[in-house]
Amino acid sequence: MTAMAHEPLTQEEVLLEGFLALDTPEGFRAELIEGEIVVTPPPDGDHEDCISQIVKQVIRRSRTDMDFSGNRGLKLQSGGGCPEDHVIPDGTFAPAELRLYRGADPWMPCDGVAMVLEVTPTRPNTDRQAKRRCYARGGIPLYLLIDREASSITLFSDPEKDDYPEHCTRPLGKPLALPEPFAFELDTGDFL
């Protein structure tokens, strides 16, 4: 009996297999974004403090009871010719009633996610551009970007194809209105 020949793997399949097999050092994040493997070093304390300030406000002030995760990766539709994007947002918010963060798979679909949060690291263009396109392609309604280099906060909304045509940018220190299901003004004074 002869063994059946297997179809050779495509370049996209090889890239995805290689990415999923990565063993990054503790604290580092590996993501597959628009066909490129991006490895990010552990965040600094100011980065984490900013996330903490946002989470506290969202949990206390949102009109809808929200769950938060800073550890679950998202599988998102990719741009043409690339394997699925595998992105780890700094934060993901979803209505608590959906219980989206259950399950053993570290990569979850984005269905039901209300908002993703990114605080720019040392390589801000990934958050400003590539991740914005990923989240829009995934249909995530809101993308909140704290740009530490620009001292600003931007809320992207109403995703269409691979971008968010609607956005509101405020300097850090000024409040930013979050729409439903959050429905409150985010105080950014502590982000300075």
**Would you say 72 and 51 are in contact if contact means Cβ atoms under 8 Å apart?**
no
Q: What is the pLDDT of residue 19?
A: 94
Binning pLDDT at 50, 70 and 90, where does residue 4 land?
low
Residue range 88-102: mean pLDDT, rounded: 95
Domain edges within the chain: 44-191
Q: What is the pLDDT of residue 83?
A: 84
Of 129, 120, 138, 122, give the one whose Cα is nearest residue 51. Answer: 120
**With 80 as the cut, is the pLDDT of residue 6 above it?**
no
Of 4, 29, 8, 26, give the one whose Cα is nearest residue 17. Answer: 8
**Residue 178 token pair:** 């979050």
| CATH 3.40.640.10 for domain 44-191 | no
**With 70 as the cut, is the pLDDT of residue 3 above it?**
no
Residue range 150-160: mean pLDDT, rounded: 97
Of 49, 57, 58, 24, give the one whose Cα is nearest residue 39. Answer: 24
Residue range 87-92: mean pLDDT, rounded: 96
pLDDT digits (tens, 9 = 90+) for 116-131: 999 998 778 999 999 9
Q: Considering the entire predicted model, what is its pTM?
A: 0.91
Q: What is the pLDDT of residue 11?
A: 86
Q: What is the pLDDT of residue 48?
A: 94
**Would you say 29 and 88 are in contact if contact means Cβ atoms under 8 Å apart?**
yes
Q: What is the pLDDT of residue 82?
A: 78
**With 80 as the cut, is the pLDDT of residue 5 above it?**
no
d(CA 107, CA 87): 8
